[in-house]
Amino acid sequence: MNSLQIEFICNKKDRKDYDAKAPINVMSQEKIRKVREYHKSFSEYKITPLFALDNLAKEFGVNKIWVKDESYRFGLNAFKVLGGSFAIGKYLSKKAGLPIEELSFEKLRSKEIKEKLGDITFVTATDGNHGRGVAWTANQLGQKSVVFMPKGSSIIRVNNIKKEGAEVFVTDFNYDDSVKLATKYAKENGGVIVQDTAWPGYEDIPLWIMQGYGTLIDEAIEQIEALGEAKPTHVFLQAGVGSFAGAVQGYLASKYDKRTRPITIIVEPENAACIFKSAKINDGKPHAVTGELSTIMSGLACGVPNTISWEILRDYADMFVSCPDYVAARGVRILGSPLKGDPQIISGESGAVGMGLLSLIVEKQELKNMKELLKINEQSKILLISTEGDTDPFAYRKIVWDGAFAN
């Protein structure tokens, strides 16, 4: 490990203990087109902004830097609602015996469908954003939600979920054990678990959540093409359980062949780097990280990989990176304090870690090898996705105003 405490692994192509490629047709453009049509049926739906940081690109010695800003998504300050809303829609469509193409969000809200389906309680565990999205969707549809949160959860995130009508329990456990508690609660109380991680025997809803995230990357590629650009050359993807990263990776692998696919960099907090650990062990299987999972990147504080996402990332991602918290804090400050002429982007810690890492790759001699392996140069067109805004404003101010978590 270098003095920056950033570890990275290039994806190893010499694996001989398994040959099958993870199925990426589940994230095909045709499937995601249907997901977007569903999301477009929401009155709240608008394409979130794609900002160009042209002056920063010059400063970093690259061609383009684009940031997809998900703080604008449905007024909920984060992207997660895309997954929860689509998964709940798919669940209800199956329960109603109707294809989701025939069920707009407005129709799902109708008295006719509500009476047909009856009362349903959706249950989940969350570090904040996913639970808020599930609670919002359930509330919009006249259904109930119960949300479990890990110990140490921000009171602001707790209250934001309660405002969406959910019953909230803050547990004495970490995220992964809170998932187990939520699953047990749903089973004992006849609820429906809506979790953004998969495990053997529980894969349909996590897959639907991943497909819901497909709207985001489909929008971004559409926006880039509208600028006259073919595609990004590099995409930085932050990972917790890996659902978001796996969804975007699956979409890119489905849309582009190996020769033209953007280079992808999977970024995790060092104390919860389960995807990185799985890649490092390199036996083709997912491996969990245990313990406190302590990190300021609360949305990424997950120790057990989503089994569906892991297989996609295992087979298609290009690099896996483990980062200390100061990398995310640096990204928050860079986005919030732009170079003159570039737009300001308010990004939370989980949303900004990609920017923090990119800045260090291009600036620090210690990461020169990393830069060369990734082929980041003056031709590079880099896409970053700020998956959340300042979902905890107090933590955001400590970083931006007080310089918290500086290296």
Active-site residues, by number, are: 80, 127
Strand bridging mode 144-149 / 167-170: parallel
**Sequence-distant (≥ 6) Cβ neighbours of residue 180 within 8 angstroms:** none
Give me the long-range contacts of 359-366 (CB less than 8 A, separation at least 24): 359/60, 359/330, 359/331, 359/334, 360/4, 360/6, 360/327, 360/330, 362/60, 362/61, 362/62, 363/60, 364/4, 366/2, 366/3, 366/4
- Three-state SS annotation for 355-396: HHHHHHHHHCHHHHHHHHHHCCCCCCEEEEEECECCCCHHHH
What CA–CA distances, in Å, run from 88 to 152, 174, 181, 192?
28, 25, 20, 9
Number of helices and strands in the chain (H, E): 16, 11
Tokens linked to 91: 């669940």
Q: What are phi and psi of 142, to 5 degrees?
A: 75, 25
Q: What is the number of other CB atoms lying within 10 angstroms of the CB of residue 294?
A: 14
Distance CA 146, CA 144 (A): 7
Distance CA 308, CA 204 (A): 10
Angle, CA 143 vertex, CA 137 and CA 145 arms, to 5°: 70
